[in-house]
Amino acid sequence: MSDEIVETKDGLKLRKLVELKTSTAEEYQKAMLDRVEYFKEKNQQKSQFNSFIQNTVVQVFSTLLDLKTKVDESLGEENLKKVHEVLDSVLLFGL
């Protein structure tokens, strides 16, 4: 992208856009994504323990949700409703 420097009467220098390429937005987007990735890596280097714990917790939740959906699929709708009714009654008596 070409630009020219314009100086105001106050001495402030401004860049004036002369030409706008169609790929400018893509270049800015790529630069922003590279910057985000850079800081992500920097933060992971600072605290590998926290990163490990976060990854472990997310993996556990992901596994539990996958297991729940597979159990729901294997039970079928009728049996799933019965299981929910039993759980509701158990929870009501527990309170």
Model pLDDT for residues 80-91, shown as the tens digit of each residue: 888 888 888 888
Pair (73, 57) in one structural domain: yes
Range of the domain at 34: 1-46
Pair (40, 58) in one structural domain: no
Direct distance between the N- and C-terminal alpha carbons of the chain, in angstroms, rounded to an integer: 68
* C-alpha dist (Å) from residue 48 to 31, 34, 39, 56: 25, 21, 14, 12
Question: What pLDDT is stored for residue 73 in this prediction?
Answer: 84
| Cα–Cα distance for residue pair 85/95, rounded to 1 Å | 16
Number of domains the chain contains: 2
| Cα–Cα distance for residue pair 84/91, rounded to 1 Å | 10
Segments in the chain forming alpha helices (H): 24-46, 48-94
pTM of the model: 0.39
